[in-house]
Amino acid sequence: MIRRATRQDWPEIVRLSVEAFGASAWPWKRWRDLLSAAPQPVAEPVQALALVAAPAEPPPLAGYVALQMIHGEVEIQALAVAKGVRRQGWGTRLLNAACEHARQAGCHTALLEVRLGNLPAQAFYGHLGFSVCGRRPRYYHSPLEDALLMRKSLVAAASPCAKAGADAT
């Protein structure tokens, strides 16, 4: 049910992205470039990809997650679940699959930014073991808003802000 996104998923991912984020959704061109890129070798230190949740029943896609792995760290760049199927575990499955994919590719840490006012998403990430490690002022536009930086170790229990806290200042 969770699989790598392909170019064929592009229209539905863009639709879900606009449904979830409105004016601050990624531009369709960014998705096209991500989904059109050929898979990179596992050993490549910088990799970007997206996963989708494709349930047996409609809607065509339950959600998506985009991630970028850079030298042992994975950044969760975008994540959304279709409005009609939230609180059914799809976000959990997507985020866990992204973290497991990154862990198997050698990543030790997951990082993400979330809007200061997006309390549901903060609760979701907290539920899945992410901790707040920093704050990025005026990080988001449309509307302008600070970001909270959140972190999770993919290897073992570790000091929540050991590395990312330093990065955020």
Ligand X SMILES: CC(C)(COP(=O)(O)OP(=O)(O)OC[C@H]1O[C@@H](n2cnc3c(N)ncnc32)[C@H](O)[C@@H]1OP(=O)(O)O)[C@@H](O)C(=O)NCCC(=O)NCCS
Q: Return residues touching ligand X (CB under 6 A).
A: 20, 79-81, 86-92, 114, 118, 120-121, 123-124, 127
Distance CA 35, CA 10 (A): 7
**Min separation Cβ 122 and ligand X, Å:** 8
Residue with smaller CB distance to ligand X, 40 or 122: 122
Write the CB contacts of 84 (distance below 8 Å, at least 6 apart in sequence): 59
Residue with smaller CB distance to ligand X, 31 or 90: 90
Residue found by looking up tokens 């539905």 in the block: 12
Residue with smaller CB distance to ligand X, 105 or 114: 114
**Min separation Cβ 104 and ligand X, Å:** 21
Residue with smaller CB distance to ligand X, 45 or 84: 84
- The residue nearest ligand X at its CB is 91
Of 147, 27, 24, 2, the closest CA to residue 75 belongs to: 147
**Min separation Cβ 42 and ligand X, Å:** 27
